[in-house]
Amino acid sequence: MDKKSILQAAIAGAIAGSLAWLVVKPIVNAGMEKAIRDQLREQLPRELSATLDQKMAQLGITPETGQQVARLITAATRSGVI
């Protein structure tokens, strides 16, 4: 092959690759967006819950304490205090 043929083949390959990417790019982007959304839906609540549990434990607030506070607020709301 001479230099002209190599250059033409390289240009043709670049054009073909660019056209293929234009077709495939929306599919790839949609797949990546879905994967990121799914990961955030699953991972964020777990991490948030773990962080909140840790912070509440540092403050000495147990799940039982939280339930008691919720009952107290409900009773205060029903009685009209809040």
Prediction pTM value: 0.41
Checking if the pLDDT of 15 tops 90, the result is: yes
| 28-61: pLDDT as tens digits | 899 999 998 888 888 888 888 889 888 888 988 8
CB 66 within 8 A of CB 56: yes
- Grade residue 16 by pLDDT with cuts at 50, 70 and 90: very high
Mean pLDDT score, 52-77: 88
CA distance 70 to 60: 16
The structural domains of the chain, with segments of one domain joined by +, span 3-79
| DSSP conformational letter for 61 | -
Average pLDDT value for residue range 60-75:
88
